[in-house]
Amino acid sequence: QKCPKAHGEEELGQPRQPLAKKRGRDGEDVGLTAKRLKSNEDTAEYEEWRDERLDLGVDPEGLNAQSLELWYAQICLICSTPISGLSNWPIHANGSKHMSRYLALGGAKLKDDKHRPDPQLQDAQPIPIQMSMYVQKQLGL
């Protein structure tokens, strides 16, 4: 018996076979080895971002190691690793691996021609909650 939702291509009751290959960001099929190499490509891209945005060797004492200037596009530019979410940045930035990498680079600061907006949005106006269509209809709006 054929499954009508699968356009008759799969048998009912048969488990689906997992895909043998994964797709990379560009949609190309990649195996596990290629996926690891892609990670190295990502690291190289993050290091380019670091070189474009940061001056290195300017803080050998490590005073600026936890600065948000080092976090760009949810990537730690010192460690070249993803750090998702603002709340995770302090956890990462206070870690020993981050600090040792920061000191190995001689410290860093944002280049003068770059701007880092403050990600703390506490003063931002909240988005007003829209009434549901049901409530609007009940109020005659």
Summarised one tens digit per residue, pLDDT across range 98-114 is 999 999 999 999 999 99
pTM over 0.85: no
Query: What 3-state class would DSSP assign to 70?
Result: helix
Altogether, the residues listed in the chain come to a count of: 141
Query: What 3-state class would DSSP assign to 37?
Result: helix
DSSP state, 85?
S
CA atoms within 13 A on the CB side of 112: 1
Per-residue pLDDT at 140: 87
42 in Cβ contact with 25 (< 8 Å): no
